[in-house]
Amino acid sequence: MKKSKWVLWIALILGVSFFINIFAENGLFDYFPLLFFIAGGLLIYYGLRGRSQGTNKSDLPTLSKKREQSYVNAGMSDSEIDMFRQTMNQAKKQIEHLQATINKSGKLRAIDLRHDTIKASKALFKEIVDSPKRMPEANHFLYTHLPNLVDLTDKFIDINEHQIKSRDTYEKIEESIQIIDQMAALITIDYQKFVSDDLDDLDVEISIAKQSLKQNGNYKEHEAR
């Protein structure tokens, strides 16, 4: 039942109870406070719930008609669209946060350059947005690898900014860098796996194009220089 209908029913109960209390000769007065507090509690509950839900939705970027239609065309229900948008909005914030954190450290920037972590994250994000029904294929990226990398880099920055570092601190820093490097590599693998079908399709198209060129006598093998 929608919230507006709940409000109407509760208001009706309160009104009826109030008039019964006024015109009743005896006995019913004892029930009015109980009904009043129950109805009032329900009003407060649904009011807070509605405010919470409104806050979550207002945090999402505006959904364009074109994008909304693409979700509908993909066969997604309203609840699936909401869940998808909330998940991707969270991922976008995590990627932006990760990029800002990486820029704070030369060691983290080196890892990013080695694995193209941010580039791979943004590219995978775009691929998921363009193919929302394939989101389950990116579960490791969305729910494990990306959030873990955000947490690890945040903790690395905290430790690395200690003014006085002990031997244990330096060991923790080195261990963190190694784990961050491995996690960054996993994100690149996540992207490669997600687009692997596209690469296979490209291989097929290249093969067909080569055959066509060979038949026409226009194909030349690539010569190494």
Give the tens place of pLDDT for each residue, 72-120. 888 889 899 999 999 999 999 999 999 999 999 999 999 999 999 999 9
Residues 85 and 183 in one domain: yes
Q: Residue 153 domain-assigned?
A: yes
Residues 30 and 138 in one domain: no
Our count of domains for the chain comes to 2
Residues 53 and 94 in one domain: no
Please check the confidence at residue 206 and state whether its pLDDT lies above 90.
no
Residues 21 and 125 in one domain: no
Q: Which domain holds residue 54?
A: 3-58
Please check the confidence at residue 44 and state whether its pLDDT lies above 90.
no
Q: Residue 65 domain-assigned?
A: no
Q: Residue 202 domain-assigned?
A: yes
Residues 86 and 11 in one domain: no
Please report the pLDDT score of residue 55 as a whole number. Answer: 43
Residues 94 and 122 in one domain: yes
Give the burial string for 118-142 (b: 16+ CB within 10 Å, else e). Answer: bebbbebbebbbeebeebebbeebb
Please report the pLDDT score of residue 90 as a whole number. Answer: 96
Residues 121 and 196 in one domain: yes
Q: Name all contacts of 86-90 with Cβ < 8 Å and 24+ positions apart.
A: 86/56, 86/60, 87/135, 87/142, 88/125, 88/128, 88/129, 89/59, 89/60, 89/61
Please check the confidence at residue 196 and state whether its pLDDT lies above 80.
yes
**Average pLDDT for residues 125-136, to the nearest whole number?**
94
Q: Residue 137 domain-assigned?
A: yes
Give whichever of 30-39, 68-77, 184-193 has the largest mean pLDDT.
184-193
Q: Residue 90 domain-assigned?
A: yes
pLDDT band at 2; cut points 50, 70, 90: very low
Please check the confidence at residue 129 and state whether its pLDDT lies above 60.
yes
Task: Pick 11 or 48 by higher pLDDT.
Answer: 11
Question: Nearest Cα to 98, choosing from 62, 136, 125?
Answer: 125
Residues 104 and 173 in one domain: yes
Residues 19 and 105 in one domain: no
Burial class (CB in 10 A: 0-12, 13-18, 19+), 184: buried
Q: What angle do CA 157, 160, 164 make, to 5 degrees?
A: 145
Answer with the one of 27, 58, 89 that is the final residue of a domain.
Answer: 58
Please report the pLDDT score of residue 86 as a whole number. Answer: 94
Please report the pLDDT score of residue 170 as a whole number. Answer: 87
Please report the pLDDT score of residue 112 as a whole number. Answer: 96
**Average pLDDT for residues 201-209, to the nearest whole number?**
55
Q: Residue 41 domain-assigned?
A: yes
Asked if residues 121 and 187 have their Cβ atoms less than 8 Å apart, the reply is: yes
Residues 52 and 88 in one domain: no
Question: Nearest Cα to 107, choosing from 171, 187, 178, 185?
Answer: 178
Residues 100 and 136 in one domain: yes
Please report the pLDDT score of residue 20 as a whole number. Answer: 58
Q: How far apart are CA 34 and CA 47, in angstroms?
A: 20
Tokens describing residue 194: 């997600």
Q: Residue 32 domain-assigned?
A: yes
R_g of the chain computed on alpha carbons: 29
Which of 81-95, 103-117, 159-173, 175-189 comes out lowest in average pLDDT?
Answer: 159-173
Residues 82 and 171 in one domain: yes
Q: Residue 22 domain-assigned?
A: yes
